[in-house]
Amino acid sequence: MGQKFRSELLLADASHTRSDILVSIGVICGLAAVRLGFPIADPLFASRRRRHRLDRRGVLRQADQALSDTARLPVPEVCAAALAVAGVLSCHSVRTRGTTSEVLVDLHIQVDPVITVAAGHRIAEEVERAVCARFPEVADVIAHLEPFDDYQAKKTASEKAAGLLDQV
């Protein structure tokens, strides 16, 4: 089900359940082996149970990524989608978060400062559509519109210098 619905939380729950089943089977097998006269079997099965408990950390890590602001898309590719839209002069402050099947994106785009608000809004909407078309897992995009002036150019340049906008 988790794969069908591309749900990280369902996949994590399935992994946790599978781990519980394997641990329970190990306990039963260990008890049965001891009762049959093989006392060494219990420590052997216990080491397998310990490994399955450690696997749960991966489940927690996976759930943590789904619930925290872990970046979900490569910033340069999101910027490239935005820059492909006519009228976008630059792009910066890209943030992506959410689950792998439902990504939320917000970014800043810079346009010619002399265009009308209506023209800028049309460009921002086109950027939102372009990002959604490029990344089917995107559920929502917020494109913050800014004039491309010296201040905004410096913000973009500082992100490029920091390597945040590589290959853009």
Q: Looking at 23, 38, 67, which one is the last position of a domain?
A: 67
pLDDT tier for residue 164 given thresholds of 50, 70 and 90: confident
User: Range with the lowest mean pLDDT among 68-72, 112-116, 134-138, 155-159?
Assistant: 68-72
Judgement on whether residues 19 and 82 belong to the same structural domain of the protein: no
Number of domains the chain is built from:
2
Q: Confirm whether 3 is domain-assigned.
A: no
Q: Confirm whether 2 is domain-assigned.
A: no
Q: Confirm whether 167 is domain-assigned.
A: no
Domain extent for 45: 8-67
Rounded average pLDDT over 33-52 = 70
The CATH number given to whatever domain includes residue 130 is 3.30.70.1350
104 Cβ contact partners less than 8 Å away, ≥ 6 residues apart: 96, 97, 98, 138, 139, 140, 141
Q: Confirm whether 114 is domain-assigned.
A: yes
Q: Looking at 44, 67, 90, which one is the last position of a domain?
A: 67
Judgement on whether residues 118 and 151 belong to the same structural domain of the protein: yes
Task: Quick: pLDDT tens for 62-118.
Answer: 555 555 556 889 999 999 999 999 999 999 999 999 888 899 999 999 999 999 999
Judgement on whether residues 90 and 125 belong to the same structural domain of the protein: yes
The pTM of the whole model exceeds 0.85? no
Judgement on whether residues 95 and 63 belong to the same structural domain of the protein: no
Task: Quick: pLDDT tens for 6-35.
Answer: 555 565 666 666 766 766 776 777 777 778
C-alpha distances in Å from residue 59, one per residue of 16, 23, 108, 132, 161? 7, 15, 34, 29, 36
Residue with tokens 């925290």: 68
| Distance, CA of 115 to chain centre | 35
Q: Confirm whether 166 is domain-assigned.
A: no
Contact 54, 73 (CB under 8 A): no
Judgement on whether residues 58 and 79 belong to the same structural domain of the protein: no
Q: Looking at 19, 35, 67, which one is the last position of a domain?
A: 67
Judgement on whether residues 104 and 154 belong to the same structural domain of the protein: yes
